[in-house]
């Protein structure tokens, strides 16, 4: 990859790992820390100044921004104002050691949009991006896990990631949270410096702490196709059908008649499935219940 050029595809994202080795890592869901060769490797995607600039311009809708201080979310009411007041408030919070998260960053940063689209084609997953900026020590969230695999790209500053034992198995968006085992302790600690990346598999509980004055990292989020996701995509189609939205009047007909008609309709939907079409729609259609980005 040329110096100072933005990462554009899966091979460049996971260097020096090969794309094939990374796909095996996705399948095994084992954490991996990969030290970087250069401190500014990811800065061409988005650096600290460009991120703060983006927030000040007011182009980003308030629904995609989250603010935290002392690992507690700051009420977002003032973010509805996209004028100078938003920028002033963000600056004041950063001066008070806060964290800023940007969800759906691929929709707001062209280089991230291109990268996510390319990686989705190459991996088969739905791929999105998040940005986390933290001023001062600490981080945004307390210990938690995410329902997607994450490649963390450290852009600015240093951050300590602590991954814990007893991961939740195959979590998906919208499912009830799986409580941690009471005796589960820290498994591994990783310190990320600029140019490093870290693979955090879905379900691994983790906590982050900034080392130094500030940190900026990018999260490339991999959402795999699952049976649950397939049902979600089928439901999205059914919502467009007046027949599928019709009430099932069990009291006005025999339950056997209603049951048979319902099964026939659902079986017809499943029988018409094309895995290639399903995979394409998965890659290009938004994921529900994914408004929590990677930890900060």
With vertex at residue 131, the alpha carbon angle to CA 226 and CA 213, rounded to the nearest 5 degrees, is 140
Mean pLDDT of the chain: 89
Residue-wise pLDDT for 230-258, tens only, equals: 999 999 999 999 999 999 887 776 888 88
pLDDT, residue 288, reads 67
Measured between alpha carbons, how far is residue 235 from residues 76, 198, 231, 239, 240 in Å?
31, 34, 6, 6, 9
The owner of tokens 């991230």 is 112
Min mean pLDDT across 54-68, 76-90, 121-135, 259-273 is at 76-90
pLDDT band at 292 (very low <50, low <70, confident <90, very high): very low
Share of the chain above pLDDT 70, in %: 94
Question: Which class in CATH covers the domain with range 10-223?
Answer: mainly beta
Beta strand extents in 201-248 (DSSP E only): 206-223
Query: Per-residue pLDDT for 79 more than 90?
Result: no
pLDDT band at 293 (very low <50, low <70, confident <90, very high): very low
Q: How far apart are CA 196 and CA 24, in angstroms?
A: 20
Going from N- to C-terminal start, the domains of the chain cover 10-223
How many other C-beta atoms can be found within 10 angstroms of the C-beta atom of residue 173? Answer: 18
Query: Per-residue pLDDT for 296 more than 80?
Result: no
Q: What's this model's pTM, rounded to 2 decimal places? A: 0.90
Residue-wise pLDDT for 97-145, tens only, equals: 889 999 999 999 999 999 999 999 999 999 999 999 999 887 878 889 9
pLDDT, residue 78, reads 66
Residue-wise pLDDT for 84-107, tens only, equals: 778 888 888 888 888 999 999 999
Torsion over CA of 135, 109, 173 and 234, rounded to 10 degrees? 170
Query: Per-residue pLDDT for 147 more than 50?
Result: yes
């Amino acid at each position: 990859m040329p110096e100072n050029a933005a990462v554009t595809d899966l091979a460049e994202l996971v260097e020096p790992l090969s794309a094939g080795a990374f796909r095996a890592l996705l399948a095994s869901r084992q954490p991996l820390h990969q030290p970087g060769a250069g401190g500014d490797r990811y800065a061409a995607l988005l650096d600290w100044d460009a991120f703060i600039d983006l927030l000040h311009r007011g182009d980003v809708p308030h629904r995609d921004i989250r603010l935290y201080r002392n690992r507690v979310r700051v009420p977002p009411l003032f973010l509805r104002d996209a004028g100078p007041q938003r920028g002033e408030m963000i600056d004041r919070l950063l001066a008070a050691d806060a964290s800023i998260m940007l969800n759906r960053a691929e929709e707001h940063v062209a280089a991230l949009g291109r990268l996510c689209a390319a990686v989705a084609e190459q991996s088969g997953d739905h791929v999105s991006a998040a940005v986390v900026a933290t001023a001062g020590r600490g981080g945004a969230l307390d210990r938690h896990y995410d329902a997607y695999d994450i490649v963390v790209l450290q852009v600015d500053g240093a951050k300590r990631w602590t991954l814990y034992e007893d991961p939740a198995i195959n979590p998906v968006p919208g499912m009830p949270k799986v409580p941690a085992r009471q005796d589960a302790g820290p498994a591994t600690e990783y310190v990320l410096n600029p140019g490093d990346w870290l693979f955090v598999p879905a379900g691994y509980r983790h906590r982050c702490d900034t080392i130094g004055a500030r940190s900026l990292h990018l999260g490339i989020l991999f959402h795999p196709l699952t049976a649950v996701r397939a049902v979600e995509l089928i439901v999205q189609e059914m919502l467009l059908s007046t027949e599928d939205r019709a009430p099932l009047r069990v009291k006005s007909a025999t339950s056997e008649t209603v049951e048979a008609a319902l099964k026939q309709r659902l079986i017809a939907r499943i029988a018409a499935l094309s895995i290639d079409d399903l995979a394409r729609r998965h890659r290009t259609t938004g994921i529900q219940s994914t408004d929590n980005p990677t930890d900060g």
